[in-house]
């Protein structure tokens, strides 16, 4: 495991062969998918997961033993892992509770072997291209020149990488807040991550952000998409 993964998630984990088959079977269950998505957002105890799932779907009550069962299945499939223990209650109790986390923020279930995958940087650029190209289907006029697409993809990766630099610091800040919905947690973590950047990184973040969105806005307006109205 990465040294930096101690406080933050690994960005990417690729599951292949038997691991991939096991993961597919585990994720056939909707509750397990919801648990995994919640643990991608933040570390949570069984109790916190029960509270989250109950709020997420008030009509279907879920019991702690059910969550523990699903966690066991996810752990056996290498999708979640035990992060450690924390004191129950307000932290003053001698009783310890297990704290869980997803193994990575992005889990890729592949039908190939790990040797077939490109290096991480190349993979990220390829992933960004796969985000950009489908925009043609909703009216964006994406440049046919692959170099132009590659440039947008590389900027997209830099944009994404910059905000991720300070996720650990943001996560430490959020520990001072009580229980948060995972979706709210993710939004706050991103905002705080950006605010933690150095002045030069902060300026570069917004510079790259403008480059990416300007190019995509131009592709939208040059395509079949409806042009924004001018007031």
Say if CB 102 and CB 79 are below 8 A apart: yes
**Distance between CA atoms of residues 229 and 178, nearest Å:** 42
Q: How do beta strands 10-15 and 104-109 pair?
A: parallel
Return the domain boundaries, the chain.
Answer: 1-117, 118-225
> 104: closest CA among 184, 182, 41?
41
Q: What is the pLDDT of residue 85?
A: 86
Q: Give the pTM.
A: 0.51
Q: What is the pLDDT of residues 100-132, one digit of tens each?
A: 999 887 776 665 444 444 444 554 555 566 667
User: Can you read off the two tokens belonging to residue 171?
Assistant: 């996560």
- Pick the residue with more confidence: 43 or 114? 43
CATH of domain 1-117: 1.10.10.10
SS3 194: helix
């Amino acid at each position: 495991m990465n040294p930096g993964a101690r406080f933050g998630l690994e960005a990417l984990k690729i599951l292949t062969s038997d691991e991939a088959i096991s993961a597919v079977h585990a994720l056939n269950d909707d509750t397990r998918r919801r648990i995994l998505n919640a643990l991608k957002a933040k570390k949570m105890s069984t109790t916190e997961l029960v509270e989250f799932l109950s709020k997420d779907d008030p009509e279907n009550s879920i019991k702690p033993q059910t969550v523990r069962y699903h966690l066991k299945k996810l752990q056996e499939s290498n999708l979640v892992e035990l992060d450690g223990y924390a004191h129950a209650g307000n932290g003053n109790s001698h009783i310890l509770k297990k704290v869980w986390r997803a193994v990575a923020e992005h889990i890729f279930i592949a039908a190939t072997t790990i040797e077939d995958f490109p290096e991480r940087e190349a993979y990220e650029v390829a992933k960004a291209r796969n985000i950009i190209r489908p925009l043609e289907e909703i009216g964006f006029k994406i440049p046919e020149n692959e170099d132009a697409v590659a440039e947008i993809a590389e900027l997209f990766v830099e944009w994404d990488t910059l905000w991720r630099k300070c996720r650990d610091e943001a996560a430490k800040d959020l520990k001072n807040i009580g229980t948060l919905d995972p979706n709210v947690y993710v939004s706050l973590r991103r905002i705080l991550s950006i605010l933690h950047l150095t002045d030069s990184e902060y300026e570069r973040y917004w510079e790259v952000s403008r480059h990416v969105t300007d190019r995509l806005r131009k592709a939208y307006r040059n395509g079949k998409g409806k042009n924004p109205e001018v007031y």
